Amino acid sequence: GAGVSQTPSNKVTEKGKYVELRCDPISGHTALYWYRQSLGQGPEFLIYFQGTGAADDSGLPNDRFFAVRPEGSVSTLKIQRTERGDSAVYLCASSSSVQETQYFGPGTRLLVL
């Protein structure tokens, strides 16, 4: 079946602008995760959803970052007033339950000029 998909694959924006990044998990997966991967580093946890609710948002760096998953499927990561330091690859992963393997999407590469 289809894997995790993320759109857009690349996003270039200007400092101060607002961006939305979308994640479509594998159908039926209840757990959804967002990670951020800076150049040359491993992914870092941002937020985790179980169903519609954010069960753990301890990784969000500040209040400019927000994520939603209103119907328990698609999730959107929203970044307000983008800064150059937000440039990174944003990864989404989903799993069939909190104990199961996480399947990653290809990521969205965000560049803030």
Partner 1 sequence: GNSVTQMEGPVTLSEEAFLTINCTYTATGYPSLFWYVQYPGEGLQLLLKATKADDKGSNKGFEATYRKETTSFHLEKGSVQVSDSAVYFCALSDRRIKGAQKLVFGQGTRLTINP
What are the residues binding partner 1 (CB under 8 A)? Answer: 3-4, 31, 33, 35, 40-45, 48, 50, 55-56, 59, 91, 93, 95, 98-107
Contacts of 65 (CB under 8 A, 6+ apart): 46, 77, 78, 79, 80
Closer of 14 and 39 to partner 1 (Cβ): 39
Minimum CB–partner distance for residue 12 and partner 1 (Å): 19
Single out the residue of 13, 10, 9, 11 nearest to residue 83, CA to CA.
13
Closer of 82 and 107 to partner 1 (Cβ): 107
d(Cα 65, Cα 92) in Å, to the nearest integer? 15
Contacts of 7 (CB under 8 A, 6+ apart): 21, 22, 24, 108
Closer of 50 and 76 to partner 1 (Cβ): 50
Minimum CB–partner distance for residue 43 and partner 1 (Å): 5
Minimum CB–partner distance for residue 16 and partner 1 (Å): 30
Closer of 35 and 65 to partner 1 (Cβ): 35
